[in-house]
């Protein structure tokens, strides 16, 4: 069975989520790892509704869902531009596939990834995206088993039946987004484009076609992810120093972006979660 992973970046109030639901991450089969970041599995059985919230990543997801009073369904969730809120109630199950940024288009080569941005595509449109796949049967094999290993194996089987088209541009987009995620010194699109030997226009077109959002959005989003994580793990964050570390001109700019994305100022959020 693929090893469980713990990566909670982007989740709002991680401790509250873990107290309410059973949340796990798992690696896909080795052949899928160049395209798939991880699988995420959530099971819940609640006595009262709970609104889970996530500051989304620049990634497309394919999500299999079993919700109360509904038939099982699958959807493509494009990059969500704002805070994503999902109400969970009673009993349910979700099994999701998180594609690496830039890596979804080889599976659906006929559409730029901006096609899905800000949208959640459900049947029948989602079936048109995977025309040679029996998604109805896959729903059963992914959502029915209580055995977690069986669910992961079903997700592997689903993806291994697909044939992503080799695309060097997709590989480049994935590499560039990962560079932004891991390199704090990347703060300006113009400097980043120059360092990569690309024009700003070409970089923006690449991101629109393969990531679904622009490079500036990605840079800002990863800053907010880090600020969110620091707020949850550090009871005494020096916000001015963190703003400087993240490349903001001053603390006020960090506060503005954090508040616009999460809904509350960072200091208030840190106080609430602690």
pLDDT of residue 3: 40
pLDDT of residue 87: 95
61-66 and 73-77 strand pairing: antiparallel
How far is 93 from 95, CA to CA, in rounded Å?
7
Angle CA(128)–CA(64)–CA(103) in degrees, nearest 5?
A: 65
The model's pTM: 0.92
pLDDT of residue 1: 38
Task: Please report, in tens digits, the pLDDT of each residue of the chain (274 residues total).
Answer: 344 445 788 999 999 999 999 999 999 999 999 999 999 999 999 999 999 999 999 999 999 999 999 999 999 999 999 999 999 999 999 999 999 999 999 999 989 999 999 999 988 888 888 877 888 889 999 999 999 999 999 999 999 999 898 999 999 999 999 999 999 889 899 999 999 999 999 999 999 999 999 999 999 999 999 999 998 888 788 999 999 988 888 899 999 999 999 999 998 998 888 7
Task: Name the phi and psi angles at 80, rounded to 5.
Answer: -90, 130
CB 73, CB 124: distance < 8 Å: no
Among the four given CATH numbers 3.20.20.70, 2.30.30.90, 1.10.3720.10, 1.10.10.60, the one describing domain 168-273: 1.10.10.60
3-state secondary structure of 171: helix
Ramachandran assignment for 119, one of left (phi > 0), alpha (psi -120 to 50 degrees), beta (any other)? beta
CB atoms within 10 A of CB 233: 12
CB 261, CB 82: distance < 8 Å: yes
Angle CA(194)–CA(196)–CA(198) in degrees, nearest 5?
A: 65
Tokens at residue 19, please?
Answer: 């107290």
The CATH 1.10.10.60 domain(s) of the chain lie at 168-273
Question: Across the strands, what pairs with 66?
Answer: 93
């Amino acid at each position: 069975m693929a090893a469980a992973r713990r990566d909670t970046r982007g989740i709002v109030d991680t401790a509250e989520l873990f107290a309410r639901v059973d949340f796990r991450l798992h690696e896909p089969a080795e052949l899928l790892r160049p395209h798939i970041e991880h699988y995420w599995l959530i099971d819940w059985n609640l006595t009262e509704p709970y609104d889970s919230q996530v500051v989304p990543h620049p990634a497309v997801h394919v999500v299999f869902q079993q919700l109360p009073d509904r038939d099982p369904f699958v959807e493509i969730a494009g990059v969500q531009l704002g805070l994503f809120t999902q109400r969970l109630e009673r009993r349910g199950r979700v099994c999701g596939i998180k594609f690496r940024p830039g890596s979804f288009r080889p599976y659906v080569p006929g559409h730029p990834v901006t096609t899905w941005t800000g949208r959640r595509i459900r049947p029948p449109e989602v079936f048109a995206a995977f025309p040679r796949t029996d998604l109805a049967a896959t729903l059963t094999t992914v959502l029915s088993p209580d055995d977690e290993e069986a669910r992961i194996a079903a997700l592997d089987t689903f993806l291994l039946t697909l044939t992503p088209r080799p695309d060097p541009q997709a590989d480049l987009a994935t590499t560039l987004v990962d560079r932004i995620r891991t390199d704090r010194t990347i703060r300006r699109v113009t400097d980043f484009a120059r360092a990569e030997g690309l024009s700003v226009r070409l970089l923006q077109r690449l991101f629109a076609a393969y990531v679904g959002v622009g490079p500036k959005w990605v840079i800002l989003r990863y800053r907010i992810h880090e600020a969110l994580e620091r707020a949850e793990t550090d009871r005494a964050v020096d916000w001015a120093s963190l703003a400087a570390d993240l490349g903001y001109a001053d603390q006020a700019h960090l506060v503005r972006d954090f508040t616009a994305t999460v809904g509350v100022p960072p200091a208030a959020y840190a106080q609430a979660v602690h």
